[in-house]
């Protein structure tokens, strides 16, 4: 009888295992980065226009450009108070030197789009005050509806 050597399976390389794990890890990291970026863009697309309105409104208040600020108010507020009264009320407030938009939230509840923004106003004298500005969407544009 002829002697046949036993078949020895080829040795598995640890190097191949590390390469496969490296590729899987790289794909996961790239997927997480892309997913994070897409989530960030979705949030910016939702809040960006509302933030721009708040930025313009707060900037007008600090600059004491009350007609510009009044133009960004919602119809309900403009129906309750005229521009002259709004200007008179705002002129009586302490002088502001700056502002910071701390946060903007937007919600869509059964097609009713609303939001709010937290704005920290800095007065010339005194401590900064954070104010919540309610927002509504009217005719496709965001409006401050205090």
Q: How does pLDDT run across 45-99, given as a tens digit for each residue?
A: 468 999 999 999 999 999 999 999 999 999 999 999 999 999 999 999 999 999 9
Edge to edge, the sheet with strand 141-144 lists 96-109, 112-123, 129-138, 141-144
Within a domain: residue 131? yes
Residue 26 binned pLDDT confidence (cut-offs 50, 70, 90): low
Within a domain: residue 4? no
Residue 110 has pLDDT above 90, yes or no: no
Residue 131 has pLDDT above 70, yes or no: yes
Query: How remote is the C-alpha of 80 from its chain's centroid?
Result: 30
Q: What is the pLDDT at residue 96?
A: 96
Q: Which residue has the higher pLDDT, 6 or 55?
A: 55
CB 116, CB 134: distance < 8 Å: yes
At 80, which CATH number?
A: 3.10.450.100
Within a domain: residue 38? yes
What is the total count of domains within the chain? 1
Q: Which two tokens stand for residue 63?
A: 């600059």
Residues facing 90 on adjacent strands:
none
Q: What is the pLDDT at residue 38?
A: 39
Within a domain: residue 39? yes
Q: What is the pLDDT at residue 36?
A: 46
DSSP for 54-90, written as a single string: HHHHHHHHHTT-HHHHHTTB-HHHHHHS-HHHHHHHH
CB 73, CB 138: distance < 8 Å: no
Task: Give 113's contacts (C-beta < 8 A, 6+ positions apart).
Answer: 106, 107, 136, 137
CB 143, CB 72: distance < 8 Å: yes
Within a domain: residue 19? no
Domain that holds residue 103: 27-144
Within a domain: residue 42? yes
Q: Calculate the average pLDDT of the chain.
A: 83
Q: What is the pLDDT at residue 74?
A: 96
Within a domain: residue 54? yes
| pTM value > 0.75 | no
3-state secondary structure of 5: coil
Within a domain: residue 81? yes
Residue 35 has pLDDT above 50, yes or no: no
Beta strands (DSSP E) in 14-146 are: 96-109, 112-123, 129-138, 141-144
């Amino acid at each position: 009888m002829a002697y046949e050597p036993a078949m020895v399976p080829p040795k598995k390389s640890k190097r191949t295992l590390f390469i496969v794990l490296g590729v899987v890890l790289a794909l996961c990291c790239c997927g997480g980065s892309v997913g994070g970026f897409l989530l960030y863009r979705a949030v910016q697309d939702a809040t960006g226009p509302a933030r721009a309105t708040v930025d313009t409104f707060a900037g007008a208040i600090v600059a004491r450009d009350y007609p510009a600020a009044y133009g960004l108010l919602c119809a309900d507020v403009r129906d309750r108070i005229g521009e002259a009264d709004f200007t008179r009320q705002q002129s009586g407030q302490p002088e502001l030197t700056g502002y910071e938009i701390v946060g903007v939230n937007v919600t869509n509840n059964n097609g009713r789009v609303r939001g709010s923004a937290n704005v920290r106003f800095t007065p010339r004298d005194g401590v900064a005050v954070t104010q919540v500005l309610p927002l509504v969407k009217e005719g496709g544009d965001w409006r401050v509806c205090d």
